Structure 1
Amino acid sequence: MRRRTFLSALPAGALAATAVQARQSSPTAKPTEAAPAPARPADPYAGVGIGDRVTGPKFMGRSTVWGANGAAATAHPAASLIGIDTLRRGGSAIDAAIAINAALGFLEPVANGIGGDAYCLLWDPKQKTVVGLNGSGASPRGLSLETARSKAIEGYLPRYGAVTVNVPGTVDAWWSAHQRYGKLPWKDVLLPVAELCEQGAPVPQVIAYYLERNMAVFDRGVIPIEENDNRKRIWAAGGATPKVGEVFANPYLGRTLRMIAEGRRDAFYDGPIADSIEAYFKRIGGWMTRADMAAHRTEWVEPIQTNYRGVDVFGLGPNTQGLSTNQILNICEQFDLKSMGFQSAASLHVQAEAKRLAFEDRARWFADDRFSKTPVEWLNSKAYAAERARLIRPDRVMDRVMPGDAPHHGDTTYFSVADSDGMMVSWIQSNYRGMGSGLAPDNGSEPLGFMFQDRGELFALSDGHPNVYAPGKRPFQTIIPGFAVKDGEPWMAFGVMGGAMQPQGQAQIIINMVDYGLEPQAAGDAPRWQHYGSSEPTGQAQEGTGVLHLESGVPEATKAQLRAMGWTLGEPDGGFGGYQNIMKQMNPGGRWTYGAATEMRKDGIAIAY
């Protein structure tokens, strides 16, 4: 059986297009003989480190940005600017979040868009609490398990095509959040973004890279996609995707956003756009209907919570993997990571083993809680974490990891934004694998400007599995926002985008800041690890001890010690996620300031004022 793991919404940077389209999705998988990966060119800058800073850690690429009135940290400079502009026009942090997300659907189509799902954690300054929002959509009610199985490849759902498409939840998530927390009129939030889509914007380096490779994967057709003309018309109108620095416009998406601005959420779910979506799937042989769209509703949910060395860490429960972040931290709390040393073999060993333990529970239990109840309280408990921590050997990798035996009673864009009222928003939104399913709907004559997600790939097909496919069911989801509270005050709205990297990355950020005293930008710039090879919620079993990938900045002595412990180490593969963070700092006199940090591995910037 070929291995599939669930990587970032953006494919790992080192994966060549031919390798990405192969049946495996693990970056450790070998390309098929029929589609060998091209040799990577020699790096002319090999061995050259970064420049020196006069203050802060040497690996830190830039300073945290500080402001007193508001902040935005996103994966694209223009999106950050739109967020700040929305705040300055009197908008709330939610208004800014909606505008940012709408803009990123145009600016960063390789990671997100209105064809995907969204989740949010936010600090409500009036209630003085963290609030959760689940904006994930369900599978079409007309698609049966039998039909889904007939589309399987090697026992699992394919990466692309109509069978992977669920109801897009993003627009309704916008609407639900705006109804509760918006200040600006709905139209005033979306119309500036529609204008940006029509005017166009230069394409930055990382986005141009992934756009070219996503389209190349679709074009090769190893996995059949029912319709291909619309995506080419939107993102490769001249026969090629835009290059770095070229101005790209998407007037089709601009027109769709104008329809949503005028007709509100019903224009998308129970109006002309829903009609177009139903007609499109009927024409190409898919299953989504207007009735599926109209039935969708966003859920306001109670976040799950744990405490890590005095910091309250919040996440979203199943159908997301937010519980995995808590479990990793709960296990790590059983060890004195600080005394082990930053980036030491002992510290990374414990963190990676905690991930392996948490991910076996993830594969065993996580699913849509409307269909299968996950024992969240037990899995999130300190007692269970202590039990699991005792399995970790200090000098050797565990040979095999099993999920816990529960008691019987029972890819992606991420951004942060904060406003002058103290609201802090942690928002994540994705089409899942790169650009999504490959399917871009039209109205019969012109594209609508967006691509549908392929989240349905994450269903299992095995009878009895909690995450087994069913009509009207939400698949297991990888995207998770993060939030942390300290001393009763909001501390960080943060996240690390990138499939299975997300809970691993979130835990590393918390550990870097709590155990090792790093500030927000340094915590994100620090070298990261990612472990592949755990069992998956689609039914795949673990592969031995897996592969531990380390970024090049991890000390060579640490790598040597990890190998001696039995770890199989992988080279840096570009799959270490994308981080954004806004931290609230309480200052003398009671006035707070915001410190905003952004991902040096992406194109974006953080702005505060």
Structure 2
Amino acid sequence: MRDFQLPGRSAVRTTRAMAATSHPLATEAALDMLRRGGNAVDAAIAASAVQAVVEPQSTGIGGDCFVLYAPKGGDQVLALNGSGRAPRAATIDALRSMGLSEMPRHGPHSVTIPGAIDAWDRLSRDHGRKPLADCLQAAIHYAEAGYVVHDRVAFDWADTAALLAADPHSAAIFLPGGKPPAAGDLHRQPALAATLRLVAERGRDGFYTGAVAEALVARLRALGGLHSLDDFAATRCDWVAPVSVEYRGYRIHQMPPNNQGLTALVMLNILAHEDLARLDPHGSARFHLEIEAARLAYRERNTRLAEMDRNDPVIGALISPAHAARLHGAIRHDRAMTDLPPIDLAPSDTVYISVVDEDRNAISFINSTYWAFGSGITCPQTGVVLQNRGSSFRMVPAHPNALAPGKRPMHTIMPGMVTREGRAIMPFGVMGGDFQPMGHVHLLTNMLDYGMDVQAALDSPRVFPDKGVVRAERGVSAATLQGLQALGHPVAEAEEPWGGGQAIWIDWQKGTLTGGSDPRKDGMAAGF
């Protein structure tokens, strides 16, 4: 139980249905859909569409989407890969001929074909109860009538002024009066509203063919992009089999590569060799083990993960008990490893959504344009901000994640799902780019090793090893920081919070739902 004399909030508890998102308007849109007879799928799409309007720095219909879905709360988890592909004309040689030696972070060559709308459409048709058009109405309203900019959104938006100013169409929409909106300002996106109306009328074809696709391709081609109308028309999401491991009697499910979800499973397998429950959850010994497991798992990610077939032997090898034992054997309790090179990691902006409905359909849903405002490119006719997910590719032909025509890049956004004894237990997710595997593991170990409730587990302070330095949130105690330094970890204060997150725990015996939403964002969990 939390200390009620200290700042914080309780977990949200209810019986019938619940939604947890990083924005109040998105949570309300999800609940409204549930009250009107929609299921968890409809509610998640409605929430994501609203966030594509009200959190434009983090997500949008010019981005990608991944979903884990447990129908009727069973343990047969379905996985939908809604990530887009590189243009068919995009090759390493083509980019090198333009003078590029590495993938650019922004600009047209960082843009992969957006996959979100196709994924929403497919998910709605296969598992939704309401038409896609119904799910988009709240988003259309906020884009057209306007929405109030929330505090964390404004905080992130303020850091992107230079990127937005470099593109006149981005500046026209997202720098009203020449500056980012402040918290409390009203903002509208009428061009985006018109695009969403077209998608509501025509489904995926309203985005990938016709006027919208033509405008997007023309904008990219004018900037030197290699994209074509055929690339957009050919975009298709895929139902795939998730990957999973057992941890403390629970099964943890993740997306397979091209997703980085496997990184969290590698970490969990390593930490399964430790008795974490005997350690202070906020002490240096616990954080040391988490950091070391992360350093090992991220090394595996950076050298071995890319788009691959679900049956690729690399997947089984990475999550095998023997491999976990070998990795764990490299960890020392008395000092940090010295033979691992520093890992260049970075946060980015994303939205995550967790919904459970009355039938206990449970969905874990994540959508993103990657870095804040993605590529920095906005299409003026459509209001669509295009993602920069292609910046994750490598321009090294022998690397598994090398750029290639029609290939999906290694992806950071990762929904999670916990099951046990034939039932879904918790759809969950933690945002924050490269931080996400470590965020997943921190949340899960807080709950499964230390017995924290959902909200306490999300509130718990976080650290992240980046470029050879452990960057700690201000909530980490001075004694813990000193302990980490004594173990050989250089420590610095994090410049901003690590990620965000949401989760909903299903208690089948009591018939209750318990939800939480990360205080690092503006959102909330709510239900009825």
TM-score, normalised to structure 2, is 0.95
Matched, 1:231 2:170: yes
Tell me what 2:473 maps to: 551
SS of residue paired to 1:125:
helix
Q: Of the candidates 447, 453, 471, which is equivalent to residue 519 of structure 1?
A: 453
SS of residue paired to 2:482:
helix
Tell me what 1:321 maps to: 260
How far has the Cα of 1:143 moved from its partner?
A: 2.2
Tell me what 1:595 maps to: 514
Distance 1:339 1:509, change over 3 A: same
SS of residue paired to 2:363:
strand
State how far apart, in whole Å, the 2-side matches of 1:218 and 1:294 are: 28
State how far apart, in whole Å, the 2-side matches of 1:207 and 1:171 are: 23
The question of whether the paired residues in 2 share the 8 Å contact of 1:98 and 1:189 is answered with yes
- Encode CA deviations 1:490-532: one digit per residue, 9 max, x unaligned: 1111111011110000000010001111000000001111111
State how far apart, in whole Å, the 2-side matches of 1:489 and 1:151 are: 52
The question of whether the paired residues in 1 share the 8 Å contact of 2:50 and 2:138 is answered with no
The question of whether the paired residues in 2 share the 8 Å contact of 1:145 and 1:471 is answered with no
Tell me what 2:363 maps to: 425
Tell me what 1:349 maps to: 288
The question of whether the paired residues in 2 share the 8 Å contact of 1:498 and 1:575 is answered with no
State how far apart, in whole Å, the 1-side matches of 2:286 and 2:36 are: 46
Q: Which amino acid aligns with 2:470?
A: L
State how far apart, in whole Å, the 2-side matches of 1:173 and 1:91 are: 18
The question of whether the paired residues in 2 share the 8 Å contact of 1:149 and 1:157 is answered with no
The question of whether the paired residues in 2 share the 8 Å contact of 1:342 and 1:516 is answered with yes
How far has the Cα of 1:480 moved from its partner?
A: 0.4
Q: Which amino acid aligns with 1:351?
A: E
Q: Of the candidates 289, 297, 303, which is equivalent to residue 358 of structure 1?
A: 297
How far has the Cα of 1:470 moved from its partner?
A: 0.8
SS of residue paired to 1:511:
helix
Tell me what 2:120 maps to: 174
Tell me what 1:206 maps to: 152
State how far apart, in whole Å, the 1-side matches of 2:333 and 2:39 are: 48
SS of residue paired to 1:607:
strand
Tell me what 1:532 maps to: 466
- Encode CA deviations 1:208-237: one digit per residue, 9 max, x unaligned: 122122132343x5xxxxxx2211222123
Tell me what 1:478 maps to: 412
How far has the Cα of 1:483 moved from its partner?
A: 0.9
State how far apart, in whole Å, the 2-side matches of 1:218 and 1:248 are: 16
SS of residue paired to 2:391:
helix
State how far apart, in whole Å, the 1-side matches of 2:203 and 2:268 are: 41
How far has the Cα of 1:158 moved from its partner?
A: 1.4
Q: Of the candidates 86, 94, 98, which is equivalent to residue 45 of structure 2?
A: 98
- Encode CA deviations 1:238-294: one digit per residue, 9 max, x unaligned: 322221111111111111000000011111112221122222223332222110011
Distance 1:462 1:280, change over 3 A: same
- Encode CA deviations 1:380-414: one digit per residue, 9 max, x unaligned: 112211111011011011111389xxxxxxx3111
Tell me what 1:412 maps to: 350
Q: Which amino acid aligns with 2:462?
A: R
Q: Which amino acid aligns with 1:275?
A: E
Tell me what 1:25 maps to: none
Q: Which amino acid aligns with 2:204?
A: R
State how far apart, in whole Å, the 1-side matches of 2:507 and 2:95 are: 50
State how far apart, in whole Å, the 2-side matches of 1:118 and 1:516 are: 31
State how far apart, in whole Å, the 2-side matches of 1:459 and 1:412 are: 19
Q: Of the candidates 573, 586, 589, which is equivalent to residue 495 of structure 2?
A: 573
Matched, 1:285 2:224: yes
SS of residue paired to 2:384:
coil
The question of whether the paired residues in 1 share the 8 Å contact of 2:243 and 2:256 is answered with yes
SS of residue paired to 2:526:
strand
Q: Unmatched 5+ residue regions in structure 1?
A: 1-53, 222-227, 404-410, 534-545
Distance 1:212 1:552, change over 3 A: closer
SS of residue paired to 1:255:
helix
Tell me what 2:345 maps to: none
The question of whether the paired residues in 1 share the 8 Å contact of 2:164 and 2:170 is answered with no
State how far apart, in whole Å, the 1-side matches of 2:471 and 2:242 are: 30
Matched, 1:157 2:103: yes
Pairing 1:294-309 to 2, within 5 Å after superposition? 294-309=233-248
How far has the Cα of 1:301 moved from its partner?
A: 0.8
Q: Which amino acid aligns with 1:243?
A: A
State how far apart, in whole Å, the 2-side matches of 1:308 and 1:152 are: 47
Q: Which amino acid aligns with 1:235?
A: F
Higher helix fraction (1 or 2):
2
The question of whether the paired residues in 1 share the 8 Å contact of 2:69 and 2:364 is answered with yes
- Encode CA deviations 1:407-457: one digit per residue, 9 max, x unaligned: xxxx31111111111111111111111110011113xxxx31120000111
The question of whether the paired residues in 2 share the 8 Å contact of 1:277 and 1:289 is answered with no
SS of residue paired to 2:141:
helix
The question of whether the paired residues in 1 share the 8 Å contact of 2:2 and 2:456 is answered with no
How far has the Cα of 1:129 moved from its partner?
A: 1.5
Matched, 1:586 2:524: no
How far has the Cα of 1:594 moved from its partner?
A: 1.3
Distance 1:138 1:370, change over 3 A: farther
- Greater shift in the superposed pair: 502-511 or 116-125: 116-125
Distance 1:127 1:505, change over 3 A: closer
Q: Of the candidates 416, 424, 431, which is equivalent to residue 490 of structure 1?
A: 424
- Encode CA deviations 1:564-608: one digit per residue, 9 max, x unaligned: 1111112122141011111111234xxx22111001011111111
Pairing 1:2-41 to 2, within 5 Å after superposition? none
Tell me what 2:63 maps to: 116
Tell me what 1:84 maps to: 31
Q: Of the candidates 328, 331, 351, which is equivalent to residue 392 of structure 1?
A: 331
How far has the Cα of 1:193 moved from its partner?
A: 1.9
Tell me what 1:540 maps to: none
Q: Percent of aligned positions with the same letter in both sequences? A: 37
Question: Could you say what the CA RMSD is over the residues aligned between the two structures, in angstroms?
Answer: 1.9
State how far apart, in whole Å, the 1-side matches of 2:389 and 2:98 are: 15
Report runs of 4+ in structure 1 exceeding 3 Å deviation: 54-60, 150-153, 370-374
Q: Which amino acid aligns with 2:448?
A: V
SS of residue paired to 2:203:
helix
Tell me what 1:31 maps to: none
State how far apart, in whole Å, the 2-side matches of 1:511 and 1:160 are: 36
May I ask how many residue pairs the two structures share in their alignment?
Answer: 522
Tell me what 2:87 maps to: 140
Tell me what 1:332 maps to: 271
Distance 1:484 1:60, change over 3 A: farther
State how far apart, in whole Å, the 2-side matches of 1:419 and 1:354 are: 35
Distance 1:59 1:121, change over 3 A: farther
The question of whether the paired residues in 2 share the 8 Å contact of 1:119 and 1:133 is answered with yes
Q: Which amino acid aligns with 1:595?
A: T
SS of residue paired to 1:137:
coil
How far has the Cα of 1:152 moved from its partner?
A: 6.3
Distance 1:373 1:184, change over 3 A: same
SS of residue paired to 1:133:
strand
SS of residue paired to 2:424:
strand
- Greater shift in the superposed pair: 86-95 or 372-381: 372-381
Matched, 1:191 2:137: yes
Matched, 1:608 2:518: no
Tell me what 2:438 maps to: 504
TM-score, normalised to structure 1, is 0.83
Distance 1:171 1:353, change over 3 A: same
